[in-house]
Amino acid sequence: MPNKAELRVGYILKRYPRYSETFVVNEIIAHEKAGLEIDIFSLRYPEDQHFQDIISRVQAPVRYVQADEGKSNSFWNLLKKGQGCLPYFWSSLQSAISSEGRDVYQAMVIAMEVKEKSIQHLHAHFASKAATIARLASGMAGISYSVTAHAKDIFHEDISFDEVQSNLAEAAYVITVSDFNVKYLREVYGIDGDKVRRIYNGLDLTRFPYRTPKDRPPAIIAVGRLVEKKGFSDLVEACNLLSQRRIDYECLIIGAGPLESELQRQIEGACLQERVTLLGPRPQNEVIQRIQGSAAMAAPCIIAGDRDKDGLPTVLVEAMALGTPCVSTDVTGIPEIVVEGKTGLVVPQRDPSHLADALEALLTQPGLRTRLSDRARKLIEEEFDIDRNTEQVRAVFREAWRAGARILQEVH
């Protein structure tokens, strides 16, 4: 039975739902299962044409907060309303003087919802725009906020370093998805080590049952957005090498993105149409089935030219849970779970030759597949159980709320 909710938490996201962000949905579902009351605030409408089937399990209401700062009457009417119901409105507004009008408007809307719904804590997924709104809204409403930092939001060259640094520095706590990220946040952004918590994205392991890979067909599976940091161009080149070696295989790549046409041209240029297929986005149930029907998961992640990189791809955790041995690269937090020769195979980034060697080993050696997958599943059970990991997240929320309440009592 769920415990009686101790807190009501507002989740702030740039877009909700997003096909590629199943980890957010999984987290919210696990919170609700434990009795946490959640409201979702989305700063933009979704753009994806496909959504994961688990979206329907989320009970939390979703408020789409549209920025209407272009209409001066709406903005001033909101100001008048805000000063009447938000005790820290004017002092917070002064500190937001350098913020964009859109951000201030959205923060005011959320802050008033916080008061109307008695929300006690705000949490932003991603340290960029969503965290900016959380920072401004929490100040106006006089409550705490926290942030989960992932990858693009802290690594990409196009982010505003000063904005992200402020969002992280002023948060009560910062959660992030790998030990690599913890070190990065401390060294690059100067965030106090005591306020950064590494909590891995968890899985509902009942939905990802283990099955031995011993007798699987020679299939390679890859899942992710078709963007540079996923390294799928290296995977296609590795497949070309496998074909030249006359290795029997099929490679399926699930996902959509801006590099789809470029990857298709690469496949056709190497005459790999009979071997490599871009499947586009697929519902999670089908993704699970295809992963569990494959002899190898390929995640040849790279550091992209714009400095973007994965933090720790959820698909690796999913594959390891399902019993599919993984080949990945020595990038960011990946070696924390894909440990060379123990829980998977690790190759240098941007190295199709070594990637082909590792894939060939998994395709042709059932014993190797079984040894790696057994150890990988044990690691996932120990470190990635969603009920245990989201309890750690809720503990962070409770700590932040209590600390914020103490500060208000001291001030007043």
Judged by DSSP in three states, 126 sits in coil
In the predicted structure, residue 412 carries a pLDDT above the cut 60: no
In the predicted structure, residue 406 carries a pLDDT above the cut 70: no
Judged by DSSP in three states, 12 sits in strand
In the predicted structure, residue 2 carries a pLDDT above the cut 60: no
Measured CA to CA in angstroms, residue 25 lies from 31, 106, 187, 193, 347 at distances of 10, 22, 30, 28, 31
Quick one: average pLDDT of 338-366?
98
Q: Please, which pLDDT band fits residue 3 given cuts at 50, 70 and 90?
A: very low
Measured CA to CA in angstroms, residue 400 lies from 144, 146, 268, 365, 406 at distances of 6, 8, 54, 50, 10
- 249 within 8 A of 220, measured Cβ to Cβ: yes
pLDDT for the residue numbered 403: 83
The closest alpha carbon to 351, from 234, 183, 266, 243, belongs to 234
Angle at 166 between CA 304 and CA 123, to 5 degrees: 85
Q: How far apart are the C-alpha atoms of 229 and 310, rounded to whole Å?
A: 7
Q: How far apart are the C-alpha atoms of 365 and 167, rounded to whole Å?
A: 48
DSSP letters, 55-74, are GGG--S-EEE----TTSHHH
Report the percentage of the chain scoring pLDDT > 70.
91
pLDDT for the residue numbered 49: 67
pLDDT for the residue numbered 411: 44
pLDDT for the residue numbered 1: 34
In the predicted structure, residue 4 carries a pLDDT above the cut 60: no
Residue type, 191: I
Q: Average per-residue pLDDT in the chain?
A: 91
Q: How far apart are the C-alpha atoms of 359 and 378, rounded to whole Å?
A: 22
Q: How far apart are the C-alpha atoms of 210 and 333, rounded to whole Å?
A: 23
Q: For the ranges 62-71, 80-89, 134-143, 344-353, which has the lowest average pLDDT?
A: 80-89
Which tens digit of pLDDT belongs to each residue from 25-69?
A: 999 999 999 999 999 999 999 887 666 678 889 999 999 997 664
- 166 within 8 A of 143, measured Cβ to Cβ: no
Which tens digit of pLDDT belongs to each residue from 106-162?
A: 998 999 999 999 999 999 999 999 999 999 999 999 999 999 999 999 999 999 999
Quick one: average pLDDT of 188-201?
94
- 153 within 8 A of 171, measured Cβ to Cβ: no
- 334 within 8 A of 384, measured Cβ to Cβ: no
In the chain, the domains with their CATH numbers are 8-202+386-411 (3.40.50.2000), 205-383 (3.40.50.2000)
Copy the structure tokens of residue 127.
């340290």
Q: How far apart are the C-alpha atoms of 129 and 289, rounded to whole Å?
A: 35
Quick one: average pLDDT of 164-193?
95
Q: How many CB atoms lie within 10 A of CB 57?
A: 14
Quick one: average pLDDT of 267-283?
96
Whole-model pTM: value is 0.91
Q: For the ranges 113-122, 228-237, 401-410, which has the lowest average pLDDT?
A: 401-410
- 167 within 8 A of 147, measured Cβ to Cβ: yes
Quick one: average pLDDT of 181-210?
95
